[in-house]
Amino acid sequence: MNKERFKTLVLVSLVFVSFYLTQQVWAKLPYNLIPMSSNEPIEQNDNNDLLKVVSPEQYLITFGRSHTILYSELYCDEKYDLWNNVKTILKTCFQDKDIKVDSIENEETIKNESIRAIEAQFTEKVPLYIFLKMLEVDEANDIFNKINEIDRIYIPLNGGNFIVLSNGVDYLKVTSRNFDMSNISKEVVKIERNGYTKYYSLKDYLNVESNAYMALDKSVKAWRSVYYVKNEINVKNEAQIEQIAKEFFGKDLDYVRKIEEDNGSVIYVYNNEQVLKIFNDGIISYFNSLEHTVVERNLYISLKTAVDFISSHIGWPDDVYLSSIDQITSDGSKGYRIVFNYRIGGNPVILDNGKIEHPIVVEVFNDQIKTYKRFVRKIDMSKLIGTNIKPILSPLDIIGKSDNYNLIKENYKRQTGIKNEEINKSDLREKILSSINDIYMAYYDTCRQDYGQRLKSVWTININGTTYIFDAYSGECIKVIGGIKN
């Protein structure tokens, strides 16, 4: 090994050790320290990207006595315009001075008043001031004094003039003569006319204390397509790798040290502070330390900073959505860990990659990005999208399989401390079914191939905080998160 090569390796090792000791996370970068050429400033996007990612995870739609759940507006028989219409209604709700606000005990109080309805559901509780900023409401009414954050918006469609805002604990019935539900009603009619997968309330169908919904149909329309995916980044494409580096460091890379590892990974180091690594399997990790201490976190500034940064650094995958927000601290600074996920074919994608759990993860401290880690897959158009006519198993079919039920039962007993002699089988089954928090369809990416990887259709079932991922066709348990698999 020559002297220069040895010095380079020592330098990179010191950089990595420094970041590990300060954060024990390997992906850091402050937004305001990005070196850019003077004639290419970073432009801040307007709220369009923010409104795109801070959007409902799913819509629960009621057609009288039947229900469906829609995860995406993009991958349907035709594109629906639900979110834009919900935003219009929200803006009226926040700025109308002639509204009536009543606190109700729970959403069941008003659901019987409407035959048809749509409920927009978010993965996270979103502070109302975020909507205020995003929707550019100049003069807000006093509804912000009634509730701080929401994760559900319930909109009746039978001519009612109210909506319900909820955070899962508090329920506000907001009445206004200025609500216009006509456009969103038309969209729901289109969904009904085009055909839909029926979902059933576990509370009504099984008479258990669960608010989850599930599909029982043997052939779920959303899963007839078979998708193949590939990495969004081809690490063997030198031109693409260089272009990505320029997005982070500017067009002039003369002052950026480039290191090519034997396994195909590429590292860029700037000023011994900022490090970009493009792994040989397509993962991107970009990091740096904070320029100044952040003693008071601001979610809107942090979220806007993260969204703008991602928009200008590789950009967004199709059908992306906000997955989670967690408060974090680092060396005395207060910030957020923000996770984004995406859908393919209208369903969420679950990654099985040992190095990264989520497609896009950002650690942000107000106007400073500290970490940015990314692994995104896109549809491989070299593989024909096929159709699977084999019927899938319903969630009840899957839970009822002896191996699966025994697995769920043992995990539930460990979590609750229940012993066999303390409860009979029937009561235990009812408790387990009552503990179902969520059931949804997804595509499972094993991440074993850089391209031509077939996605698996899965049911994801959360029971008492433990997430089980089952093959939708065989019923096999693929993965358990938060519990023991065997």
Query: 244 with 238: CB under 8 angstroms?
Result: no
**Of 85, 84, 61, 82, which is closest to residue 195 (Cα–Cα)?**
61
Q: DSSP labels for 101-140?
A: EEEES-THHHHTT-SEEEEEEEEEEEEHHHHHHHTT-SS-
What's the rounded Cα separation, in Å, for the pair 471 and 476? 5
Comparing 121-130, 173-182, 389-398, which segment has the lowest mean pLDDT?
Answer: 389-398
Mean predicted lDDT score pLDDT of the chain: 85
According to the model, what pLDDT value does residue 385 have?
72
**Of 196, 212, 221, which is closest to residue 396 (Cα–Cα)?**
212
Q: DSSP labels for 206-249?
A: T-SS---EEE--SS-GGGSEE-EEEES--TT-HHHHHHHHHHHH
Whether 276 has a pLDDT exceeding 90, the answer reads yes
CA dihedral sign, ordered 309, 315, 316, 317 = negative
Q: What value does the CA radius of gyration of the chain take, rounded to a whole number of Å?
A: 24
**Strand 477-481 vs strand 368-374: parallel, antiparallel, or unpaired?**
unpaired
Class of domain 388-481: alpha beta
Structure tokens at 38: 């003077």
In 297-366, beta strands by DSSP E = 320-330, 333-344, 347-351, 360-365
Give me the sheet containing 453-454, strands edge to edge.
377-379, 228-231, 453-454
Query: 378 with 226: CB under 8 angstroms?
Result: no
Selected residue with higher pLDDT from 46 and 424: 424
Instruction: Tell me the mean pLDDT in the region 433-444.
Output: 94
Whether 461 has a pLDDT exceeding 90, the answer reads yes
Whether 75 has a pLDDT exceeding 90, the answer reads no
**Of 263, 231, 215, 233, which is closest to residue 445 (Cα–Cα)?**
231
**Strand 149-156 vs strand 162-166: parallel, antiparallel, or unpaired?**
antiparallel
Query: 83 with 142: CB under 8 angstroms?
Result: no
Q: Where exactly are the structural domains of the chain?
A: 3-42+233-375, 48-196, 388-481
Residues contacting 417, CB < 8 A, separation 6+: none
| CATH topology (fold) of 3-42+233-375 | TATA-Binding Protein (3.30.310)
Whether 20 has a pLDDT exceeding 50, the answer reads no
Count of Cβ atoms closer than 10 Å to residue 63 Cβ: 17
- Using one digit for the tens of pLDDT, what is the confidence trace for 287-341? 988 889 999 999 999 999 999 999 999 999 989 999 999 999 998 999 999 999 9
Structure tokens at 133: 């900023």
Structure tokens at 165: 């805002």
Structure tokens at 477: 């348990």
The DSSP 8-state label assigned to residue 353 in this structure reads B
Residues contacting 474, CB < 8 A, separation 6+: 393
According to the model, what pLDDT value does residue 421 have?
75
Selected residue with higher pLDDT from 398 and 37: 398
**Strand 347-351 vs strand 436-445: parallel, antiparallel, or unpaired?**
parallel
The count of residues in the chain is: 486
State pTM to two decimals: 0.84
Whether 110 has a pLDDT exceeding 50, the answer reads yes
According to the model, what pLDDT value does residue 149 have?
94
According to the model, what pLDDT value does residue 78 have?
57
- Using one digit for the tens of pLDDT, what is the confidence trace for 383-416? 877 777 778 899 999 999 999 999 999 999 999 9
According to the model, what pLDDT value does residue 158 have?
84
| b/e per residue 212-244 (b: at least 16 CB within 10 A) | bbbbeeeebbbbebbbbbbbbbebeeeeebeeb
Query: 166 with 108: CB under 8 angstroms?
Result: no
According to the model, what pLDDT value does residue 272 have?
79
What's the rounded Cα separation, in Å, for the pair 230 and 387? 19
